[in-house]
Copies of this chain bind each other. A is one copy, B any other.
Amino acid sequence: MMRRRSPTAEDVARLAGVSRTTVSLVLNGVSDARIRPETRQRVLEAAARLNYRPHAGARHLVRGRSEVIAFVMRQTPDQVFADAFLPEVLRGLSDVLREANLHLLLFPLAPDRAPEETIRLLQERRVDGMVLSGPRFEDREWLERWGQETPVVLLGHLANSALPSVDVDNGQAAAMATRHLLRLGHRRVGLITNAPLSYTASYERWLGYRQALEEAGLPYDEALVAFGAFTPASGAAAMEQLLKLPDPPTAVFVASDVVAFGALQVIRRHGLRVPQDLALVGFDDVPLSAYLDPPLTTVHLPAEDLGRAAGQLLLQWIQEGRPPTSTIRLATGLVIRQSCGAGGGA
């Protein structure tokens, strides 16, 4: 299996009868270089004939840019369910990057793993920047140091971090979902969180829920709040807890669709009907929530837009050479299906 050397700029130069410098000038379209149209043509033809492409490594070395950005995922395998919309985020991000001729390096980093491997990506200059998805509190330390030298954008967010970030407005969204249930007449509205409150997103959704109650003049009742943790199983356990109450809620806002799946299963096992006996609203709008029975009313998370926005922020930083001050909060919308009892359609 003879592996023939791939053509270099030198080969193109030889074929076109010019110097390598000229080839470079032509192919990079250097504007203030005076090249006779005729020679330019000869170079272009030679390059086309040889199917020449500049060596990425050589370019990286001399230009100082790898033209690659990393997408670092801080999710545990437990949360694999929560990855339901990872493909969408990636699609949005890669679309934006492709337009700027950047490539996407995928780098999973389990939360129990030290960040060294990620930092190495930067030290080796393997990437020109990164999107950190699901940043954790411990990450603040190294981010502060490296976010100075390299463009880093957070997907999700981190308290007290100056880094640009993209996220949904969790508080507003949770309040909207809760208000919806209140408006339907429910007075005892429960909450099942998507994760422990140490997670920012979880905490914000909890705040939104409280705010909606307050607006409606209802007291915050600790007994009506149960804690989920990413998985359907955790949702099932949380719902069991709520149903055991002497005076159980008539509606529950579950701050994660996936957690809601488990909750719904438990409700069925108890012989209760949704939404007649218990109304439910979820969060995320994962692709399949429309196909549950009943279809789940939920807060739509604009996953693709999140990816796109993160990409744009990163590009802006790279191009302008300094971090954008903007922090993007994308709006969400309530997708009304049947689980809440305000019955869209059938």
Q: Residues of A at under 8 Å CB distance from B?
A: 1, 3-4, 6, 51, 53-61, 66, 68, 71, 77, 80-81, 83-84, 86-88, 90-91, 94, 103-108, 120, 123-126, 148-149, 232, 258, 261-262, 264-265, 268-269, 286-288, 290-293, 322, 346
Q: Which of B1, B55, B286 contacts A61 (CB 8 A)?
A: B55
Determine how close the nearest CB of chain B comes to the CB of A311; give it in whole angstroms: 13
Q: Is the CB of A68 within 8 A of B105?
A: yes
Q: Is the CB of A104 within 8 A of B105?
A: yes
Q: Indicate how many identical chains form the complex.
A: 2
Instruction: Please measure, in the bound complex, the distance between the C-alpha atom of A83 and the C-alpha atom of B89, giving whole angstroms.
Output: 12
| 8 closest residue pairs by CB, A with B | A57-B60, A261-B291, A53-B123, A83-B87, A57-B61, A56-B126, A56-B124, A106-B106
Q: Is the CB of A125 within 8 A of B60?
A: no
Instruction: Please measure, in the bound complex, the distance between the C-alpha atom of A265 and the C-alpha atom of B59, giving whole angstroms.
Output: 54
Q: Is the CB of B148 within 8 A of A1?
A: yes
Determine how close the nearest CB of chain B comes to the CB of A105; give it in whole angstroms: 6
Determine how close the nearest CB of chain B comes to the CB of A15; give it in whole angstroms: 17
Task: Chain B residues near A91: list those with CB within 8 A.
Answer: 77, 80, 108
Q: Is the CB of B262 within 8 A of A125?
A: no
Q: Which of B55, B84, B124, B149 contacts A124 (CB 8 A)?
A: B55
Instruction: Please measure, in the bound complex, the distance between the C-alpha atom of A86 and the C-alpha atom of B88, giving whole angstroms.
Output: 11
Q: Is the CB of A86 within 8 A of B84?
A: no
Q: Provided the pairs A1-B322, A86-B87 are in contact, do residues A232 and B291 lie with their beta carbons within 8 angstroms?
A: yes
Q: Across the two chains, which residue of chain B brings its CB closest to A91?
A: B108
Determine how close the nearest CB of chain B comes to the CB of A163; give it in whole angstroms: 14
Q: Is the CB of B293 within 8 A of A56?
A: no
Instruction: Please measure, in the bound complex, the distance between the C-alpha atom of A322 and the C-alpha atom of B2, giving whole angstroms.
Output: 11
Instruction: Please measure, in the bound complex, the distance between the C-alpha atom of A54 and the C-alpha atom of B6, giving whole angstroms.
Output: 25
Determine how close the nearest CB of chain B comes to the CB of A271; give it in whole angstroms: 12
Q: Is the CB of B346 within 8 A of A269?
A: yes
Q: Which of B53, B105, B123 contacts A106 (CB 8 A)?
A: B105
Task: Chain B residues near A3: list those with CB within 8 A.
Answer: 149
Write 24 A-B pairs (CB below 8 A) sorted by A numbering: A1-B148, A1-B322, A6-B125, A51-B123, A56-B124, A58-B61, A77-B91, A80-B91, A81-B287, A84-B288, A86-B86, A87-B87, A90-B106, A90-B108, A94-B108, A104-B105, A104-B107, A258-B288, A262-B291, A264-B293, A268-B293, A288-B288, A291-B292, A293-B293
Task: Chain B residues near A58: list those with CB within 8 A.
Answer: 57, 61
Q: For A51, A55, A59, A104, which residue has the most chain B Cβ atoms within 10 angstroms?
A: A55
Task: Chain B residues near A68: list those with CB within 8 A.
Answer: 105
Task: Chain B residues near A293: list those with CB within 8 A.
Answer: 264-265, 268, 292-293
Instruction: Please measure, in the bound complex, the distance between the C-alpha atom of A68 and the C-alpha atom of B106, giving whole angstroms.
Output: 11
Task: Chain B residues near A55: list those with CB within 8 A.
Answer: 61, 124-125
Q: Across the two chains, which residue of chain B brings its CB closest to A148?
A: B1
Q: Provided the pairs A81-B287, A105-B105 are in contact, do residues A125 and B1 lie with their beta carbons within 8 angstroms?
A: no
